[in-house]
Amino acid sequence: MSQKLRGDLPKPVSGPCTVVVDLLPEVQSSGTLSKMTTRPVLRIFISSTAVDLREYRDKVRDAVLRLEDLPIAMETFSAHSGVPASECIRMVAQADALICIVAHRYGFVPPPEQGGDGERSITWLEVDAAKRAGKPVFVFLLDPKAPWNETKEQDRLTSEPPERTAEIVKAVQKLKEFRAYLEREYTRSTFSSADQLARLVTTTLANFVPQTDHAASNDKARSASAYYFAVQSKIIENYTRTFVGRVQAHQALDSFLQEHKRGYFVVRAAPGQGKTALSCHLVSERGYVHHLIHRTGGRSDSRLILRSLAGQLLPLAGREETLPEATSELAKTFDTGLRRTYFLLLGL
């Protein structure tokens, strides 16, 4: 296959990057092109304390996104209604794997009325939920000798009122128990900095092969949505049945995603050269959120496009709600709760 990246296109001074790929006819020198195997999008739950590990969580989230996976973190659902512990446990069960990061704080302990047991921290409950759901848990512990400028659990003995002494002493002891539990039950790695943690997470996830077909589960979730155009499933099935090749196009897209956190990746070709087939293949194999547009027909209506995309994004963000009818309200849904979710819109 021949391909060229349009390097002569001017980049905007600010805003997302734009890359254009021209698809030219496939050139098959010998034999039959083998179908390229691509990695499905995985949902990775990030579990840790918050205030003391904010920089570390940001680095891990970015590492997950660079691998084209979807991070599930408290930053994306903390404003949701519902019982905190129960919501976290539910989303852990829906994830493909859990990353547990532990430093010098024990964290919030949900009481029974909030879905906890009054003893284990929310991080411990999330790890337990992953174990019960049969999901892999990747543990990363801060090296005790690593430099640390944030407040440690025992530091609270001198910084908080005396009446909280018993609570703090208990948290210090429970943190020791939690670390001992993780060291006993799981293979773990130690880190000394946020950058080192990001590298460890990248290596771990790059070598992780899920036991279930996540792309298939994504298809099931999409087909269950009342807002998803069912005809799209048939289109994708028809175009992916005999799809082969386009290795360079995949490589160009992968390179673009590694180099840019956001932007536009445009595929251009003459009629019949494989734009639709490539798009459907990416949706099928990688589980991308999508909407297939035709210049005529209901699928090109802006309000229905928003509903179709939101119907796919809400489950990925761990949200269950009825979508509004008005275009303005749908736009608010994206702006307030879904704009952090990474997706690819494919237009035909």
Are 99 and 174 members of one domain? yes
What residues have CB less than 8 Å from 326, skipping those under 6 apart? 303
The verdict on residue 344 lying in a domain is: no
How many domains would you assign to the chain?
2
Looking from the CA of 84 toward its CB, the CA atoms found within 13 Å total 18
The verdict on residue 279 lying in a domain is: yes
- Quote the pLDDT of residue 21: 60
* CB 78, CB 63: distance < 8 Å: no
Are 293 and 326 members of one domain? yes
Are 76 and 20 members of one domain? no
Are 14 and 62 members of one domain? no
Domain boundary among 171, 206, 241: 206
The verdict on residue 14 lying in a domain is: yes
DSSP type of residue 335: I
The verdict on residue 348 lying in a domain is: no
3-class SS of residue 85 = helix
Are 255 and 278 members of one domain? yes
As beta bridge partners, residue 43 has 70
Instruction: Say which residue, 283 or 35, is predicted with more confidence.
Output: 283
Are 157 and 72 members of one domain? yes
User: Rounded to an integer, what is the distance from CA 155 to the centroid of its chain?
Assistant: 34
- To the question of pTM greater than 0.75 for the whole model, the response is no
Report the 10 Å Cβ neighbour count for 347.
15
Whole-angstrom Cα distance, residue 235 to residue 70?
Answer: 25
Are 98 and 221 members of one domain? no
The verdict on residue 87 lying in a domain is: yes
Domain boundary among 155, 174, 206: 206
Domain span at residue 67? 43-206
* CB 37, CB 283: distance < 8 Å: no
Whole-angstrom Cα distance, residue 178 to residue 174?
Answer: 6
- Quote the pLDDT of residue 223: 36
Give residue-wise pLDDT tens across range 242-271. Answer: 666 677 887 888 888 888 777 788 887 777
Nearest 5°: the CA angle 88, 130, 73 is 40
Residue 88 sits in a domain whose CATH number is 3.40.50.10140
- Quote the pLDDT of residue 170: 96
3-class SS of residue 3 = strand
Give residue-wise pLDDT tens across range 258-304. Answer: 887 777 888 877 776 778 788 888 888 777 888 877 654 445 667 77
Residue 191 one-letter amino acid: F
Share of the chain above pLDDT 90, in %: 33
Are 249 and 147 members of one domain? no
63 pLDDT more than 80: yes
Are 77 and 187 members of one domain? yes
Whole-angstrom Cα distance, residue 108 to residue 171?
Answer: 10
Give residue-wise pLDDT tens across range 210-250. Answer: 765 444 444 444 433 444 555 667 677 777 776 666 778 87
Return mean pLDDT, the chain: 76
165 pLDDT more than 80: yes
Are 288 and 152 members of one domain? no
H-only helix segments in 186-301:
194-206, 214-224, 230-240, 247-259, 275-286
The verdict on residue 168 lying in a domain is: yes
Are 126 and 175 members of one domain? yes
Domain boundary among 206, 221, 240: 206
